[in-house]
Structure formats: C-alpha cells, structure tokens
Structure 1
Amino acid sequence: MDKNELLKMVSKLEDRVLVSRLLDKVEQCRYSSFVYSDFLSPYEASVVKKVLDRVKDAFYKLTGGYEGAERAITVISSDFIEEDIPYSTPISLLRITPVIDNKLSHRDYLGSLIGLGIKREKIGDILVNETFADVFVIDKIAEYILYNLDKIGNVKVQCELCDIYQFTPPQKKERSINTTVASLRADSVASSGFGLSRTKVMEYFKAQRVNVNWEVVQSPSKMLDEGDVISIRGMGRIVLEKVLGNTRKDRISIVIKRFE
C-alpha cells in the first residue's frame, strides 16, 4: 500500500487528514482482526470508500448499527468480512426519554450530547420519535452518557441502554415524483423535487444550504446524473432516480424520489 499515492486521490486538507487516519488503521490490521473508524458523515464515507476501494488485501464495510443508517463507522479487516458484522461492532444504542411530554428536536439532543464534551464523530444517527430519541454512539462513551445526561435543555430525561439486536429501523417517508425539467442542472432538479420556485432554490444555494452527494455545492448549474442525491438543510433530500429521456417539447422526463 502506497499511502502517499492514495492520498493524492483527495484534494481537500480535511479529507486528506481523514483518509490518512483510515490508512493508518489499515496498517493496524496486521496486528488485529478488525479495526474501526469513528462515525463518518455520508460525505466522509464517500471519500473513504473511493480510497479504500483501491487498497489491496483490505476488506471493509460501513455500518451505523442498523440497516439504512446515515452516519456510519468503517469496519476494516485483512480478511473477508461476514454479513453480520453490524452486530459485532463497537456501537451502542441509547434511548433518551423526556420525563414529561416535550417535543425535543434533533438539534436539542445533539446539542446536549456535545455539551457533555462528546465529539460529533463519536455520535451516529439520532432518531427522534414522538416520546423519545434513539441515539447510536461509540461503545466507549455509552456509559458516560448514561451517568451524566439528565437534561436536554431544561427538560429532564432518562437514559437506558437498549439491545441493538432488537432495534427496528423506522420506516422512511418517501414518494416518487414523475416530472420534466429543462435540464439536469442542480437548481432545476431541486426546484422540481422540493416543490420550490427557482428563486427560492437560488437563495438556498447562496446560503450554502444545498448539498449534492453530501458535499456543499454553491453552483446551481452543476449537472446531475442518475443516483445523485440533493439535500437542502432542514428540508430533507431527494434522489434523481431515473432519467427517462426527452419529451416532444424537448424537456427531460425524470423520476425523483423524495425523502421527508
């Protein structure tokens, strides 16, 4: 493995630091059956996958503790990784329940956890339900949270460690949108997918609230391909699922999947 050559695959400084740390872990596989990263954002995971796919004799999987997790750790091994690896990773599931009815947000939960001095990369998905939140964290900090988190903002909460084997992922709300666009520009597809005017979409681009494939994009003219993901902070995300071809009026017929 030529670490310097692999690092040339990424240009951003923060990405190079991330990849360098992961490649160091690949080296550790010589002395350990498995090594693990911290939680990665979807964008970070895409960077890591691009590089690890080029590393010979290294096997890896991404898992966030349940199928469909957005934030995930990387499991790396010098040997083949079995499919049940998600259940043998150092991830714990905590359920945080307010003692009184209170509609706490994702930001509320995350802010209180970070307020305990916990780094963001130690925290995976936070799934907020009507009466509680399920939080995936690195094993080593689970007990610390159990003993130290007693409030979210001003709301008292109770924490319990749950069996990750028994966790049932929530059903994602999604719907398909069949529409036509003038072009496959990011602003055009976003406007159709989110049901927004082009003017409003442009505001989101200027405010750096638009991500394409998990990376902030400021240029609304960026061209998209099938499978590309567009997210607008606070509004969910869409996927350009299919490009069906041109209509008689020379517009492009597409299918968008929207997640809310």
Structure 2
Amino acid sequence: MEQLLQHFRESEKAFVEECHHWANEVDEQYIPKLTSFLNPRERYILKTIVAQHGLLYASEGGFEGAENKRVLIYPSYHEPTVEDFDIVVFELRYPTKFVQLTHREVYGALMNSGIDPTRFGDIVFQGERVQLAVASDLQTFFKLNFTEVGRTKVLLEQVEKPYFVSQRTLEERLIFVSSLRLDAIVSEVANISRQRASKLIQGEKVKLNWTVTTSNAQTVQLEDMISIRQHGRFYILRLEGTTKKDNIRLVVGKLTG
C-alpha cells in the first residue's frame, strides 16, 4: 500500500485508500460495488487499483461522452448492465421564452441546494434545453430540493431514454516541456511565458482537477484536468517519451465545443 501511495499526490491519498477499501469489499463479499460520480482523474486512480486486485471495472454517466461517471467494480462472474449504474436523467422545465440558463447558473443552484456534487453527473445543454444525470436513489430529494435556478422556477422531469450527447470533444496536441511542473505545462498549452503562467497560478486563475491550486511546482500526471481562466480546459492524455534534449513529449487535449 505504501509503495502504491508514492505514485499519487498527498492530496489524493485519502481517495486512494477509499478505492482500496472498495476493492477489498468486492474481494471479500464477491458482489459488485457501485461508486458515486467520479471525474476522469478519479476513475484513472480507481481503475489502476482495481486492476491490482484482479477485479473488473465499468463506467456509465447517463450520456454518450459523459465526463463524470459512476463506476461499477465487479468480480468476473458478473455481467454489467445499464441498470447496474442506478442513474436517472432529468430534463429541466423552465420558461424558455423569458429565460436562458447557463451551465454555471445550473451548477451553482445545485450546490446552493445542498446537494452533494458526487451525486450528480454532467449537466448537458442542447440549445435552450437542459438535462442532468443524477443518482437514482436521490431522485426524490432532487425533485424536492432543486426547484430554482437563480430566480427562475424549474421542474425536473425524468427522461426515459437520454439522447443528448455530452460535448467533451478534445483537440489533441503534442507539446514539449522541460518538466511536468504545472507552471511549465500552463505556459506551453496557453502559449504564454513561464512568468505569466506563474502569475496566473499564484493569482488563483488555474484549477487542477477542478480545484484551485497556487503551487507552481505541482507535478501534473496522466488524466489530470487543467483549467486556465480565459484559455480553456486541457487534459493530460499521454506521455510519449523524451527528445534527444531530454524534453518530455506530452499529448494534451483541449476541450472544444
């Protein structure tokens, strides 16, 4: 366990230990285990640990191309189905003739309603229409507690067959960096100086895996998400070795659409 923890950040150790607990539970009880909604970095960590236990792993987010997904850890005898993931998709009904909601407004309203963010997944827009994936055991709680976005009254109506696509389209790009420090990568992907990158990080304009960080020296890892204000969101997709000058070849994906 200690040897494995060395591969992850100090801030991730509690989650790594929780992943081990889930895997041990499946090992001992020999029944599947369903998680809450996890982001891509969390799923990468969980998948790594599940493989070490010789167990299997499947994920589902309610939408095609979903970014946040629930994960099913299961022994070899089990054959997962969509129903195993206990996800319900709601569409928000609101006066579209008078109001145009945004992702930020809907997400903020969910947080203000006291709803645990691990209990809902992607918020997907298609024009003025909005759909939301939630854990099915909390669907009544959602209906009762999520009734307003700002000053706009909303009503949740269950969608039997979700057909929206979560727009996580990544434009891949190969970059060369001297190290995996956050400031080095921010500088390269945003096409700005290292000094400017450092100021953005220290000015709380950069998020690493959905959390603001002010550490220039933070080491970036696979499946990390870097959000840079006014520059977009980037995912660390692949490490492809080094150049003759010992620069690191790194494939990143910029979120588009």
TM (norm. structure 2) is 0.73
Aligned to 2:200: 204
Which residue among 152, 165, 168 is the counterpart of 1:169? 165
Q: Does 1:192 align with 2:195?
A: no
Letter of the 2:119 partner, please give it: K
TM (norm. structure 1) is 0.73
What CA distance in whole angstroms lies between the structure 1 residues aligned with 2:152 and 2:81? Answer: 36
Change beyond 3 A, Cα 1:153–1:182:
closer
What CA distance in whole angstroms lies between the structure 2 residues aligned with 1:160 and 1:184? Answer: 48
Aligned to 2:41: 43
Shift of 1:73: 1.6
Is the 1:126–1:136 contact (alpha carbons within 8 Å) kept by the matching residues of 2?
yes
Aligned residue-pair number: 248
Q: Does 1:231 align with 2:226?
A: yes
Letter of the 2:52 partner, please give it: R
Q: Does 1:75 align with 2:63?
A: no
Aligned to 2:89: 93
Q: Does 1:140 align with 2:101?
A: no
Shift of 1:255: 5.8
Q: Does 1:107 align with 2:104?
A: yes
Moved more, 168-177 or 93-102: 168-177
Change beyond 3 A, Cα 1:55–1:242:
closer
Q: Does 1:259 align with 2:255?
A: yes
Is the 2:170–2:254 contact (alpha carbons within 8 Å) kept by the matching residues of 1?
yes
Instruction: State the Cα deviation string for residues 203-247 of structure 1 (Å, max 9, x = none).
Output: 23224554567787655456768x664412552224465759759
DSSP 3-state at the match of 1:39: strand
DSSP 3-state at the match of 1:68: coil
Kindly report the root-mean-square deviation, in angstroms, between the aligned alpha carbons of the 2 structures: 3.8
Gap regions ≥5 residues in structure 1: none
Is the 1:65–1:91 contact (alpha carbons within 8 Å) kept by the matching residues of 2?
yes
What CA distance in whole angstroms lies between the structure 1 residues aligned with 2:179 and 2:250? Answer: 9
Change beyond 3 A, Cα 1:36–1:246:
closer
Which residue among 62, 66, 72 is the counterpart of 1:65? 62
